[in-house]
Structure 1
Amino acid sequence: MTSHPHLAQRLFNRPLAIREDKAELVMAALADRFGVARLFRADGTAVILANDDWTEGVEAGEYRGYDVISGVARIPVEGTLVAKLGSLRPYSGMTGYDGIRAAFLMALNDASVEAIVLDIDSPGGEVAGLFDLVDLIYRARGRKPIWAILSDCAYSAAYALASACDRIFVPRLGGVGSIGIICMLTDISRGLDKDGVTVNIIRHGAHKAEGNPFEALSDDARGRIQAEIDVAGELFISTVARNRGLKPAAIANLNAECFTGLPGARPGAVEIGLADAVMAPDEAFRALLDQLDAA
């Protein structure tokens, strides 16, 4: 196993579309070690690794990022979502937008596939690459049925992906929502002062290295970073509103809240307009098969 400290650069000091409590768990997990992700050649074919147990018996040229069950392609969307993982399937608790895109396009053009299911259980993840993928899925509506079936939750970036599908199915205690953007800026300057450590930053350009962890964040820098977060947040809201046929104000008024399948003191996911039905995953999958049989 090899440590990957560069992952911190993907998660700190940049916009994320992830539920905040899950973000803390992800940050804590950076101390753990990760293995080598799936690799691809320049022509797009997968490089099968010797220790890839989930590709056993599959030839490299035949490898796909989805399973076909009774004409339905199931694309797993699990764990933290990242822009580039180099894997067609979830790996080390992450799923890459690059893998989802490749699998989705293959399934869309696969003559044996009649419908596509995004099998989602994710707290969200990176903003980079998210909305281009959401638009791709949204524009594919009408070519084949595209359903989002949640095995548990689809929060933030994961919900953006779900909203691009024709229909969303959430289990009774599963969750959707957290339609917002978060950015966690670290400031270790006081700790460095306490330890007698000084970091000298030589910059060309007044705004260079704004938000770095070695200096306290100025009000001006905070304002500029907040403006960037607001732009991403407005894009998130307008995208979900378009996908779900809702008014942007209705999405904005949710204030990034999360909603379960079953209503309680608050409306449930269906009542609020963020899901189409409350069903267990197997029940939702059978409903899709029944629809295909009836067509």
Structure 2
Amino acid sequence: MSQIFEVARRLSNRPLALVQGEADLLAAALRGDAPAPEAFGYGRSAERDRQYGLIDGVAIIPVKGVLFQGGWGWSWATGYDWIRQGFLTAVADPEVRAIVLDVDSPGGEVAGCFDLVDTIYAARGTKPLAAILSESAYSAAYALASAVDPGRVYVPRTGGTGSIGVIWMHVDWSAALAEHGIKVTFITYGDCKADGHPEIPLSKEARKRFQADVDMMGDLFVETVARNRNLPAAKVRGTQAATFLGQQGVDLGLADAVMAPDAAFLALLDELG
């Protein structure tokens, strides 16, 4: 349970590329009534003992659960540094002839996401790169999936792509603290130093400034996906962070084929020969 609170703490009061439903679960964790790890849909929270599997020369790198900036991997949350280390190791491994991102994630933290996207994108041409969605790749997870080779993003019929947007949750604890007779006084240097702290309400000025930051990161997200998928930025922006099931994502150019994960993997093996 402590891992849930740690990830929830890391993802609060900062920009996220995460679908709203998972953001609500993180908010529940911060309230102290978080569900067990199984409720996130990612199974038990035991650490993985390796960063990729190797099947017939294909490295399979899990991209599972909530994504965050860190070097750890569980069955319900994965760190960008953890993915990067596995990915770069697979690129350098002479036994690896192709790399698959095995994706089932609602997205996660903005910090660290686009650096990893660029790492994957820069590796195009070294070895075949594919993203096989075991269910969905939303928001930050879709950013990662979009970076693989053109024509190699596979989504199942009931899986989804999209949510190309940014969300920022400001958790306001001020009323709860006042109810318990706790008053927090900030002594700061700089008028904006305490902006965004959960112990005080968010001012209109701070909200406006944080909205500008979110807009900037949203534009980066749109431009990155447009580059990765060779799509007009206006078309990507026009999705308005909606999510798209199966063929809908293919029709929009966010994915390349509707295939079950095992069929997609066998198709890749057949292509490799």
User: Any idea what SS the aligned residue of 1:27 has?
Assistant: helix
CA RMSD of aligned residues (A): 2.1
Work out whether residues 11 and 27 of structure 1, in 8 Å CA contact, stay in contact via their aligned partners in 2: no
**TM-score (ref. length: structure 1):** 0.83
Alignment of 1:27-66 (within 5 A): 27-29=27-29, 31=32, 55=49, 64-66=50-52
Query: How far apart, CA to CA, are the structure 1 residues paired with 2:51 and 2:229?
Result: 27
2:159 corresponds to: 174
The alpha carbon displacement at 1:190 in A equals: 3.0
Work out whether residues 34 and 92 of structure 1, in 8 Å CA contact, stay in contact via their aligned partners in 2: no
Query: How far apart, CA to CA, are the structure 2 residues paired with 1:134 and 1:149?
Result: 16
1:278 corresponds to: 258
User: Any idea what SS the aligned residue of 2:220 has?
Assistant: helix
* Runs (5+) with no aligned partner, structure 1: 36-51, 56-63, 263-267
The alpha carbon displacement at 1:251 in A equals: 0.7
Distance 1:275 1:5, change over 3 A: closer
Matched, 1:138 2:121: yes
1:75 corresponds to: 61
Work out whether residues 2 and 34 of structure 1, in 8 Å CA contact, stay in contact via their aligned partners in 2: no
Query: How far apart, CA to CA, are the structure 2 residues paired with 1:3 and 1:291?
Result: 40
Distance 1:259 1:111, change over 3 A: same
Query: How far apart, CA to CA, are the structure 2 residues paired with 1:92 and 1:281?
Result: 18
Work out whether residues 67 and 109 of structure 2, in 8 Å CA contact, stay in contact via their aligned partners in 1: yes
The alpha carbon displacement at 1:80 in A equals: 0.6
**TM-score (ref. length: structure 2):** 0.89
Higher helix share: 2
Aligned residues: 261
1:132-164 Cα distance to aligned partner (Å, 9 max, x none):
100010011111110000000000000000000
1:48 corresponds to: none
The alpha carbon displacement at 1:54 in A equals: 5.7
1:193 corresponds to: 178
The alpha carbon displacement at 1:27 in A equals: 3.3
Aligned AA for 1:11? Answer: L
Work out whether residues 8 and 29 of structure 2, in 8 Å CA contact, stay in contact via their aligned partners in 1: no
Say which one has the larger Rg.
Answer: 1
Distance 1:92 1:145, change over 3 A: closer
1:49 corresponds to: none
Comparing 103-112 with 207-216, greater Cα deviation is found at: 207-216
Distance 1:251 1:24, change over 3 A: same
Distance 1:20 1:285, change over 3 A: same
The alpha carbon displacement at 1:218 in A equals: 1.2
Query: How far apart, CA to CA, are the structure 1 residues paired with 2:15 and 2:260?
Result: 32
1:250-271 Cα distance to aligned partner (Å, 9 max, x none):
1111100000004xxxxx1110
The alpha carbon displacement at 1:71 in A equals: 1.0
User: Any idea what SS the aligned residue of 2:88 has?
Assistant: helix
Work out whether residues 72 and 115 of structure 1, in 8 Å CA contact, stay in contact via their aligned partners in 2: yes
Query: How far apart, CA to CA, are the structure 1 residues paired with 2:55 and 2:181?
Result: 62
